[in-house]
């Protein structure tokens, strides 16, 4: 059998290790991206390494998250990011230029290259044949310094697409189908590679919707081949010279195979409060809505907005609905303005937001209490919208636009034939808001008072004695651990301040309790740390004195972030050990500094008077990182 595309790219970038599932490998990184909510910390970490210029082919710093400037913090961070980019050789995408994943797809995606980004939806560029992986900011900082990215070799899942989508059925329904089958835990330790005759029927923006939302399965990444449809997209972006074909060999071998017959798919909706809570639209049709939002890095391309505008043209948004539309980039904004689609949206009563993440991360458009909101976003975790008791449904732009007219979730197939839309022959290219770095780094970095020094963990103690601070159920996301939103996101550069919001919507007393305990342990269920790659969900608990996490299973990026910041991630061996442990129990992990090397440690519950065994699946390198108190300490200890 032939070799799949993913293994080809990994082999081309392999620095060390064997491409065997579960083995730790190190890969060379070609490009990096950051956004402003994670970027300030990533660049503080890069500065701490003492490296004068980035060593990647390309690194880009985007401003797209913290756009509401209700105080000085976000504006100060933007000045810091612009000056630090100039100093260290990084391209800077100014506020207003667009969402990092949409802009990177348009202007920088490169088939066959490897992209590492400090955002979980970095796999968006996989729609253009790029191996694009989301990671914590510290891993991205190391890559900018020329270091490799370490990961456990994933299993490669081949997703065979047969047939073609029927009218009113969208690319988003393909990833919904995978989430319906595999759940939000189904992609852990896996890369999804799409192939088959159905691939050719999908445009690059449609493919990117699918690879973007593969992150909700906790997949390492997702990828499509780079073919003639990809070449066509690069031609419309006026950078055909950057295109190259990449594909699997004939008859490729995969660790697993999933088949989806596109002919049989219908519109789907993810119900509250998980992107994996997917059902056919018939099961939720008729649900009354108060809000409809079209946008986010999943569905804000020209295609998505053009379809929405065509549905709304000549009609008015239902009077019970507050509707917003977010163009994913300045290019998309300009294109819909030139084609008249923007006028159609405005005349319908939709409110047009700036090209940014916006309501997807709780930055504005918080829905009313005790109402339902329909969004084309990728996540609907509890409280992510900004309303504690939110009822957020996820759907395609086609479903969202029709539902905005009716005031309730509506199957668009009942509206007859979809309105015609045409893909542009070429896009308007204006990169003036992407500032290239000067040839030298003779730039003074601007640091506002909200930017605080980077805290570091202590080396792993010989024995851990700590209190169970909180016990959580399955599928706790990084939004649960450290929420986003307009109140909290501006504090991303200030760990002492943002740590006051750890588990804010779960247990508001957690920070005070952690400080009083001095040393704490978090107990979690399965898939602990799913969702965003935000390293602050590990960094802030470390600052509060959390020494270890005991969970049934982990989302891999969060597990890596825990290690990177010196928190020991342990796994329960027996289900009963999770059931028996209680909040406020005093735990002792004796001789852990030595025992952690074996993969198993003893945990004593001194409150209840029993002990049990916990284990981990970390590599020898990760164990050494833990012993030294995190990745930055490890790098400093082994500099040169």
One domain for residues 260 and 278: no
One domain for residues 484 and 614: yes
Dump pLDDT digits (tens) for 429-459: 999 999 999 998 899 999 999 999 889 999 9
What does the alpha-carbon distance between residue 104 and residue 109 come to, in Å, rounded to a whole number?
6
Closest CA to 300 of 338, 259, 336: 336
Could you tell me the pLDDT band of residue 97, with boundaries at 50, 70 and 90?
A: very high
432 among known catalytic residues = no
Q: Can you spell out the DSSP letters for 21-71? A: TTSEEEE--SEEEEEHHHHHHHHHHHHHHT-SS--SSEEEEE--S----SS
Question: Which residue's entry shows tokens 């990011």?
Answer: 81
Query: Which token pair is 611?
Result: 């002990």
| Mean pLDDT value of segment 79-97 | 98
What does the alpha-carbon distance between residue 313 and residue 401 come to, in Å, rounded to a whole number?
10
What does the alpha-carbon distance between residue 192 and residue 427 come to, in Å, rounded to a whole number?
29
Dihedral sign of CA atoms 551, 553, 555, 557 in order: positive
What does the alpha-carbon distance between residue 49 and residue 389 come to, in Å, rounded to a whole number?
43
Contacts of 54 (CB under 8 A, 6+ apart): 32, 46, 88, 89, 90, 144, 145
One domain for residues 29 and 140: yes
Selected catalytic residue, list 271, 379, 384, 504: 379
One domain for residues 248 and 281: no
Residue 573 CB neighbours (<10 A): 14
Strands 24-27 and 14-16: antiparallel
621 among known catalytic residues = no
One domain for residues 274 and 339: yes
In a domain, 451, yes or no: no
One domain for residues 470 and 366: no
Among 264, 279, 302, the domain boundary falls at 264
What does the alpha-carbon distance between residue 19 and residue 614 come to, in Å, rounded to a whole number?
28
Selected catalytic residue, list 119, 139, 173, 479: 119
207 among known catalytic residues = no
Dump pLDDT digits (tens) for 543-593: 999 999 999 999 999 999 999 999 999 999 999 999 999 999 999 999 999
Query: Which token pair is 411?
Result: 């199957």
Question: Which residue's entry shows tokens 């939000």?
Answer: 184
The CATH code of the domain that includes 507 is: 3.20.19.10
Cα atoms in the 13 Å half-sphere on the side-chain side of 159: 27
- b (16+ CB within 10 A) / e for 124-148: bbbbbbbbbbbbbbbbbbbbbbebb
Residue length of the chain = 640
In a domain, 456, yes or no: no
What does the alpha-carbon distance between residue 150 and residue 377 come to, in Å, rounded to a whole number?
30
Closest CA to 135 of 45, 10, 245, 221: 221
18 CB-contact burial (10 Å; exposed 0-12 / middle 13-18 / buried 19+): exposed
Dihedral sign of CA atoms 394, 395, 396, 399 in order: negative
pLDDT at 639 over 80: no
Dump pLDDT digits (tens) for 165-196: 999 999 999 999 999 999 999 999 999 999 99
In a domain, 259, yes or no: yes
One domain for residues 231 and 315: no
In a domain, 124, yes or no: yes
In a domain, 503, yes or no: yes
379 among known catalytic residues = yes
Contacts of 358 (CB under 8 A, 6+ apart): 67, 295, 296, 324, 326, 364, 365
One domain for residues 576 and 622: yes
Among 415, 448, 472, the domain boundary falls at 415
One domain for residues 495 and 351: no
65 among known catalytic residues = yes
| Mean pLDDT value of segment 513-519 | 97
One domain for residues 381 and 260: no
Task: Specify the pLDDT at position 122.
Answer: 98
Domain containing 34 equals 5-264
Task: Specify the pLDDT at position 640.
Answer: 54
In a domain, 427, yes or no: no
Q: How many domains does the chain have?
A: 3
Task: Specify the pLDDT at position 388.
Answer: 82
Q: Can you spell out the DSSP letters for 125-156? A: GGGGT-EEEE--HHHHHHHHTTPPEEEEPPEE
pLDDT at 638 over 90: no
Supply the mean pLDDT for the chain: 96
In a domain, 604, yes or no: yes
The CATH code of the domain that includes 54 is: 3.30.499.10
Among 264, 298, 331, the domain boundary falls at 264
Selected catalytic residue, list 30, 64, 344, 479: 64
One domain for residues 234 and 117: yes
Separation in Å, CA 199 to CA 1, 153, 176: 21, 25, 16
Task: Specify the pLDDT at position 591.
Answer: 97
627 among known catalytic residues = no
What does the alpha-carbon distance between residue 562 and residue 451 come to, in Å, rounded to a whole number?
22
CA dihedral 616, 620, 626, 632 (to 10 degrees): -140
Selected catalytic residue, list 109, 110, 532, 533: 532
Tell me, what DSSP letter sits at residue 165? P
One domain for residues 72 and 221: yes
In a domain, 447, yes or no: no
């Amino acid at each position: 059998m032939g070799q799949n595309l993913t293994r080809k790219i990994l082999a081309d970038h392999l620095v060390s290790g064997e491409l065997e599932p579960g083995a730790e490998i190190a890969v060379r990184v070609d490009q990096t991206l950051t956004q402003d909510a994670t970027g300030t910390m990533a660049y503080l970490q890069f500065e701490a390494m003492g490296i004068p210029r980035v060593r990647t082919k390309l690194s880009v710093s985007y401003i797209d998250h913290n756009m509401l400037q209700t105080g000085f913090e976000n504006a100060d961070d933007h000045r810091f990011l612009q000056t630090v980019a100039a100093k260290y050789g990084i391209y800077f995408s100014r506020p207003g230029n667009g969402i990092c994943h949409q802009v990177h797809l348009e202007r920088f995606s490169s088939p066959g290259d490897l992209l590492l980004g400090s955002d979980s939806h970095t796999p968006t560029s996989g729609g253009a044949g790029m191996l694009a992986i989301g990671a914590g900011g510290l891993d991205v900082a190391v890559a900018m310094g020329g270091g490799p990215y370490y990961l456990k070799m994933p299993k490669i899942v081949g997703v065979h697409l047969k047939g073609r989508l029927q009218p009113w059925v969208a690319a988003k329904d393909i990833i919904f189908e995978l989430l319906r089958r595999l759940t939000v835990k189904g992609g852990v330790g896996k890369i999804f590679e799409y192939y088959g005759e159905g691939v050719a029927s999908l445009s690059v923006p449609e493919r990117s919707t699918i690879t973007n939302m593969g992150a909700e399965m906790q997949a390492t990444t997702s990828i499509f081949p780079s073919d003639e449809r990809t070449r066509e997209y690069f031609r419309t972006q006026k950078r055909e010279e950057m295109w190259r074909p990449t594909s699997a060999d004939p008859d490729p071998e995969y660790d697993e195979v999933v088949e989806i017959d596109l002919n049989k798919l219908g519109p789907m909706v993810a119900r509250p409060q998980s992107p994996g809570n997917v059902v056919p639209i018939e099961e939720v049709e008729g649900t009354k809505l108060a809000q409809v939002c079209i946008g986010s890095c999943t569905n804000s391309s020209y295609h998505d907005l053009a379809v929405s505008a065509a549905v709304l043209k000549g009609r008015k948004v239902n009077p019970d609905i507050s509707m917003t539309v977010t163009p994913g980039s300045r290019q998309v904004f300009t294109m819909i303005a030139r084609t008249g689609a923007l006028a159609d949206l405005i005349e319908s009563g939709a409110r047009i937001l700036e090209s940014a993440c916006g309501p997807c991360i709780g930055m504005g458009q918080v829905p009313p209490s005790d109402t339902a909101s329909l969004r084309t976003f990728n996540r609907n975790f509890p409280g992510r919208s900004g309303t504690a008791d939110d009822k957020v449904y996820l759907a395609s732009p086609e479903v969202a636009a029709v539902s905005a007219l009716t005031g309730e979730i509506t199957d668009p197939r009942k509206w007859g034939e979809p309105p015609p839309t045409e893909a542009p022959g070429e896009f308007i290219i204006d990169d003036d808001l992407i500032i290239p770095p000067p040839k030298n780094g003779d730039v003074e970095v601007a640091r506002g008072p909200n930017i605080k020094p980077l805290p570091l963990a202590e080396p792993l103690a010989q024995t851990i004695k700590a209190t169970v601070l909180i016990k959580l159920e399955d599928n706790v996301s990084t939004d649960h651990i450290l929420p986003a939103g307009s109140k909290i996101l501006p504090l991303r550069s200030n760990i002492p301040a943002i740590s006051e919001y750890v588990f804010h919507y779960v247990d508001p007393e957690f920070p005070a309790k952690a400080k009083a305990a001095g040393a704490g342990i978090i107990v979690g269920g399965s898939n602990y740390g799913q969702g965003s790659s935000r390293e602050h969900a590990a960094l802030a608990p470390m600052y509060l004195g959390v020494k270890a996490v005991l969970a049934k299973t982990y989302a891999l990026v969060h597990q890596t972030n825990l290690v990177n910041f010196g928190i020991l991630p342990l796994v329960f061996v027996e289900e009963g050990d999770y059931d028996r442990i209680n909040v406020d129990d005093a735990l002792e992990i004796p001789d852990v500094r030595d025992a952690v090397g074996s993969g198993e440690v003893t945990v004593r519950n001194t409150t209840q008077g029993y002990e049990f065994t916990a284990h981990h699946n970390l590599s020898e390198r990760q164990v050494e990182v833990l012993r030294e108190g995190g990745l930055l300490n490890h790098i400093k200890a082994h500099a040169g």
